[in-house]
Amino acid sequence: MKHYTYILKSTLNGRHYYGSTCNLENRLKYHNSGKVKSTKAYKPWVIHYLEEYETKTEAIKREFYFKSIDGYNYLKTKGII
């Protein structure tokens, strides 16, 4: 089973959200349904960036990296966000 680290972008205001999942399609639907407290005010969301991993552990580590200052700087330097 593949696991994903993703960055969503709000089409409402351009805000980004970082996460990881094994079912990207369902996770995006869940965010856009308004059932996620931290994202419901900024929907609709689109997938802005995606990385694929073999294990859940790898995907979660990458998500935490993106949420760190070093990860933020990496994403900015690469022009991803």
Is residue 38 within 8 A of residue 17, CB to CB? The reply is yes
- pLDDT at position 69 is 98
Structural Rg of the chain based on CA atoms: 12
Which contacts qualify for 30-39: CB closer than 8 Å, 24 or more apart?
39/8, 39/10
Q: What is the pLDDT along the chain (81 residues), one digit of tens a residue?
A: 899 999 999 999 999 999 999 999 999 999 999 999 999 999 999 999 999 999 999 999 999 999 999 999 999 999 999
Q: How confident is the model at residue 57, as a pLDDT?
A: 98
Tokens 């995606």 -> residue: 50
Rounded to the nearest angstrom, the gap between the alpha carbon of residue 58 and the centroid of all alpha carbons in its chain is 14
pLDDT of residue 12: 95
pLDDT of residue 61: 98
